Structure 1
């Protein structure tokens, strides 16, 4: 059994969905193995079969959502290389990375993108979905530490092997 104290957040439990709102808004589907109670600004997470793994993982997901609705989760992807271009069009991000055709990705509705000259800034309420989308973008062109070309995260260390 896990407890979460909710101070400023507004919460609604309806039809196996949990709706959270503070500065931003999000919703999440409650699994069938989880029971949620809300009373006196206290959210209780309980498993039907007393399985702690499910309780802990759902607890972590809700904690990440509570942080995300206060201020967005943010990932910065840096682009380095001559002739590499990034642009947005019709809810798609196009990456011109030196291949014959530009690669493009459909932007999910829950992710906001800001483009700077050599930077892609991804923002979202959902930490896990943001990480998986940023990994898709990073996979399109691996960073080469010798030529110093490609896509990379600022905080990630790259080893020359």
Structure 2
């Protein structure tokens, strides 16, 4: 039985939640975030809370119950506070700059890497730190993972792109006899 699915989701002030069939729409001003449940959970909006319930008694329905509760909670959190990932660039000559809707990365290759910034994302650069912000947790995490994947940190000198809270385990290099 899902322990997460049982918890009701409080709707903060300024947020509207509506249910259209199997779609849960979360609105704040002109921003809208939708979660498609595919009929796998029951949805009820009452008394300033969103309550999800299981459909059926299978083990799979309990898993969907907790998953969709987390997705709806993340949609509400994204519109109220937003999500952010920070990446750090380490290496001589490695740099990043935002030019319009493109993040241009110089990561030691013979050519610059251009990352198209999607709608709903905000990317800023200060010195060697890249901040990826947005209302959709999955979109922010995916963009940060793609940027990190262009030059993963290597274990000898730590050069590359890493998350700011990530710890790189260093290896010892060659030693002379």
Structure 1 consecutive aligned stretches of length 4 or more whose deviation exceeds 4 Å: none
In the superposition, the TM-score normalised over structure 2's length comes to: 0.79
* Among 137, 140, 143, the residue aligned to 1:127: 137
Gaps of at least 5 residues in structure 1 are none
* Among 33, 40, 60, the residue aligned to 1:27: 33
* Among 6, 12, 16, the residue aligned to 2:18: 12
1:91-119: CA deviations, max 9, x gaps? 22221111111122222212111111111
- Cα RMSD over matched residues? 2.2
In the aligned structure 2, how far is the partner of 1:129 from the partner of 1:49? 31
In the aligned structure 2, how far is the partner of 1:23 from the partner of 1:143? 40
Give 2:45's aligned residue: 38
CA deviation after TM superposition for structure 1 residue 55, in Å: 0.8
Say whether residues 1:112 and 2:117 are aligned partners.
Answer: no
In the aligned structure 2, how far is the partner of 1:24 from the partner of 1:127? 19
In the aligned structure 1, how far is the partner of 2:95 from the partner of 2:164? 18
In the TM superposition, 1:1-161 aligns within 5 A as 2=6, 3-8=8-13, 9-14=15-20, 16-22=22-28, 25-32=31-38, 33-50=40-57, 51-161=61-171
CA deviation after TM superposition for structure 1 residue 24, in Å: 8.3
CA deviation after TM superposition for structure 1 residue 82, in Å: 1.8
**Residues matched between the structures, number:** 161
For the structure 1 residues 21 and 135, does the alpha-carbon distance in structure 2 shift closer, same or farther, using more than 3 Å as the test? same
CA deviation after TM superposition for structure 1 residue 17, in Å: 3.2
In the superposition, the TM-score normalised over structure 1's length comes to: 0.86
> Which structure has the bigger radius of gyration?
2
